[in-house]
């Protein structure tokens, strides 16, 4: 399943956003380009290195691939996290837009594909360049509307939005990484995220123009979600998919047992042990979005 990854070139690059920020990114270039370029839009507080093996896999099949760190995360964090000023919506408006423009300059003449993990699929429509995308592969990407969580899970989520985020950001001036098991989040990003999470309509309740932005995007979409993913219940994944326009949309909801696994969760998809069971579906779909 390596798809010729030994022939993949890797280059760290810097992206410039329209509002003057700089972002860390990495290009994965196949020895011979034979497929459209792919942008990987990461999940909240996840460094781009987490997606490197998946990026190499796609590049080994002929896709040029770009990964990035959102502002305030990983290599795109300049200075102390508690002093960094940013909003979560800027990940779409500025960062993904800059990444799409970079892909267009790097691989001119080819409409890009996007693989979006979690929040990546929520904020993509905020990018002015989103209309250039030819296809979107969503991984555990969801509406965060509270109604999609039930019982104890709903109580846990409420404790995060109403308790953990406000308390920890007040104490530390940012959201520490241990709160999520990932990278720390700057204050403005964490608090905006929590405001979305407390609203019945999640992000649409705070950025109402997004409804029209979603509906204006009619490219083919494939969504995959998992039954053991606390962060992305099946109805939440289905609702996000419904926000997008167009009719070429499919949703594959899997139990770990369906692929002979004990667990997948919110982050398991990008682990290389799932290359045969999960990545091949993405490779096949990205070869001909439909």
Contact between 77 and 27 under an 8 Å Cβ cutoff? The reply is: no
Whether pLDDT at 6 is above 90: no
The token duo for 123 is 């904020």
Q: What is the mean pLDDT of the chain?
A: 97
pLDDT at residue number 2? 52
pLDDT tens digits, one per residue of 205-218: 999 999 999 999 99
Answer whether residue 201 is part of any domain: no
pTM (two decimals):
0.97
Helix (H) or strand (E) holding 117: strand 113-117
The token duo for 202 is 């999640």
Pairing type for strands 249-254 and 185-186 reads unpaired
Contact between 98 and 126 under an 8 Å Cβ cutoff? The reply is: no
Cα–Cα separations (whole angstroms), residue 265 to 19, 24, 239, 261: 35, 27, 19, 11
Confidence of residue 5 (pLDDT cuts 50, 70, 90): confident
CATH of the domain at 31: 3.40.50.1820
Triad 204, 222, 46: Cα angle to 5°: 65
Instruction: For 224-282, give the secondary structure using H, E and C.
Output: EEECCCCCCCHHHHHHHHHHCCCCCEEEEEECHHHHCCCCCCCCHHHCHHHHHHHHHHH
- Distance CA(14)–CA(68), nearest Å, equals 9
Answer whether residue 155 is part of any domain: no
Range of the domain at 127: 5-148+208-287
Domain count, the chain: 1
pLDDT at residue number 3? 53
Answer whether residue 196 is part of any domain: no
Answer whether residue 238 is part of any domain: yes
Cα–Cα separations (whole angstroms), residue 231 to 15, 51, 237: 30, 19, 10
State the average pLDDT over residues 115-127.
99
Answer whether residue 23 is part of any domain: yes
State the average pLDDT over residues 76-88.
97
Residue where the block lists tokens 């691989």: 107
Answer whether residue 276 is part of any domain: yes
pLDDT at residue number 115? 99
């Amino acid at each position: 399943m390596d798809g010729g990854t030994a022939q993949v070139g890797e280059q760290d690059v810097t992206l410039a956003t329209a509002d003057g920020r700089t972002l860390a990114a990495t290009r994965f270039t196949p020895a011979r380009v034979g497929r459209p370029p792919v942008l990987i839009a990461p999940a909240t507080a996840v460094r781009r290195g987490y997606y490197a093996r998946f990026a190499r896999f796609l590049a080994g099949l002929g896709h040029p691939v770009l990964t990035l760190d959102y502002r305030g995360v990983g290599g795109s964090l300049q200075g102390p996290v508690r002093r960094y000023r940013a909003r979560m919506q800027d990940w779409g408006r500025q960062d993904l837009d800059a990444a799409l423009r970079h892909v267009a300059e790097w691989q001119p003449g080819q409409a890009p594909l996007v693989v979006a993990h979690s929040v990546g699929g929520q904020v993509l429509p905020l990018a002015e360049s989103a209309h250039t995308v030819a296809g979107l592969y969503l991984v555990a990407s969801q509406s965060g509307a509270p109604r999609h969580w039930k019982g104890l899970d709903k109580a846990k989520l409420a404790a995060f939005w109403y308790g953990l985020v406000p308390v920890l950001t007040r104490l530390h001036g940012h959201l520490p990484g241990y709160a999520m098991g990932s990278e720390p989040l700057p204050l403005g990003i964490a608090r905006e995220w929590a405001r979305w999470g407390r609203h019945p309509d999640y992000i649409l309740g705070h950025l109402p123009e997004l409804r029209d932005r979603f509906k204006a995007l009619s490219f083919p979409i494939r969504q995959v979600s998992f039954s053991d993913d606390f962060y992305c219940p099946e109805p939440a994944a289905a609702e996000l998919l419904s926000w997008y326009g167009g009719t070429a949309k499919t949703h594959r909801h899997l139990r770990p047992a369906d692929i002979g696994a004990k667990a997948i969760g919110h982050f398991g998809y990008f682990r290389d042990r799932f290359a045969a069971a999960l990545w091949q579906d993405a490779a096949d779909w990205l070869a001909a979005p439909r």
